[in-house]
């Protein structure tokens, strides 16, 4: 898992970085908000650990900016106080969890494991879409009645993203940010073509168009 750790306490961040690295994570460090934004907008991360009290754009400002730009990367907010207003604002903006300093690293590990399970980070198993279709996360392969179906890689990545984000509306911009990332930005018509092909594959089930907003994916086995 690739983690962005945003923490201005250099000593603490290095200790935490060593702990996370020992858990087989790749950890990138940022010590202030502007650098964190630069990193987030230039490379993909699986998880962001974000201290609220950092210089050059505090953590809440960073969180709000990345959510407004369509980044859905899970964020655990780190705070040194139990200011209920700030915590409430963090959840309103879009954080996924928070942890208060000082904290036991085992507690942080437990919270990270929960996020990984919820968002299927480093998940290499399979998901049954229905009685006919199964998706293999490791090989980005769709199986129909246990037989593999060859589809373009981007279509498989879209299916994977849909499966990780079922039952909520996903905009065109969100798909672009989280699927294409920092490659050449596709046109809306290109995305529609991919969606059309995926719909055809599933006999036009599961993908609902939400007018003016985007798409919602709901399989027979959604939780």
Beta carbons of 63 and 94 less than 8 angstroms apart: yes
Domains of the chain in start order, with CATH, are 2-119 (3.40.50.2300), 126-217 (1.10.10.10)
| Closest among 111, 51, 44, 37 to 81, alpha carbons compared | 51
pLDDT value for 217: 95
Residue 106 has pLDDT above 60, yes or no: yes
Residue 222 has pLDDT above 60, yes or no: no
pLDDT value for 178: 86
Query: Span 28-45, mean pLDDT?
Result: 94
Between 44 and 157, the more confident residue is 157
pLDDT value for 183: 64
pLDDT value for 42: 86
Q: How confident is the model at residue 97 (pLDDT cuts 50, 70, 90)?
A: very high
Burial class (CB in 10 A: 0-12, 13-18, 19+), 151: middle
pLDDT value for 57: 92
Please report, rounded to a whole number, the percentage of residues in the chain having pLDDT higher than 90.
Answer: 78
Span 107-135, pLDDT tens digits: 999 999 999 999 889 999 999 999 999 99
Query: Span 198-210, mean pLDDT?
Result: 94
Contacts 24+ apart (CB under 8 A), 39-44: 39/4, 40/4, 40/66, 40/71, 40/73, 41/69, 42/182, 43/182, 44/2, 44/73, 44/181, 44/182
Span 158-197, pLDDT tens digits: 999 999 999 999 999 889 888 887 667 899 899 999 999 9
CA distance 27 to 20: 7
Mean of per-residue pLDDT scores for the chain: 92
For strand 2-6 and strand 169-170, is the pairing parallel, antiparallel, or unpaired?
unpaired
Span 40-79, pLDDT tens digits: 988 889 999 999 999 999 999 999 999 998 889 999 999 9
Please name the residue ranges forming H helices in the chain. Answer: 10-22, 33-40, 59-68, 84-93, 105-119, 153-164, 172-175, 188-201
pLDDT value for 30: 98
Q: What pTM value is reported for the model? A: 0.82
């Amino acid at each position: 898992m690739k983690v962005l750790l945003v923490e201005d306490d250099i000593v603490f961040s290095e200790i935490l970085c060593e702990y996370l690295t020992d858990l087989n994570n790749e950890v990138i460090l940022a010590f202030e908000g502007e650098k964190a934004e630069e990193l987030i907008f230039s490379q993909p991360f699986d998880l962001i650990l974000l201290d609220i009290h950092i210089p050059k754009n505090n953590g809440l400002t960073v969180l709000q900016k990345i959510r407004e730009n369509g980044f859905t990367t899970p964020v655990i907010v780190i705070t040194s106080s139990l200011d209920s207003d700030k915590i409430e604002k963090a959840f309103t903006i879009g954080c996924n969890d928070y942890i208060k300093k000082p904290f036991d690293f085992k507690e942080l590990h437990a919270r990270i494991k929960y996020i990984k399970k919820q968002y299927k980070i480093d998940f290499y198993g399979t998901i049954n879409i229905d009685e006919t279709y199964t998706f293999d996360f490791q090989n980005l392969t769709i199986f129909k009645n246990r037989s593999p179906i060859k589809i373009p890689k981007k279509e498989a990545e879209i299916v994977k993203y849909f499966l990780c984000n079922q039952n909520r509306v996903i905009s065109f911009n969100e798909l672009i940010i989280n699927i294409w990332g920092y490659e050449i930005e596709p046109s809306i018509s290109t995305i529609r073509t991919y969606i059309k092909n995926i719909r055809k594959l599933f006999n036009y089930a599961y993908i609902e168009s939400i007018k003016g907003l985007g798409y919602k994916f709901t399989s027979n086995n959604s939780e």
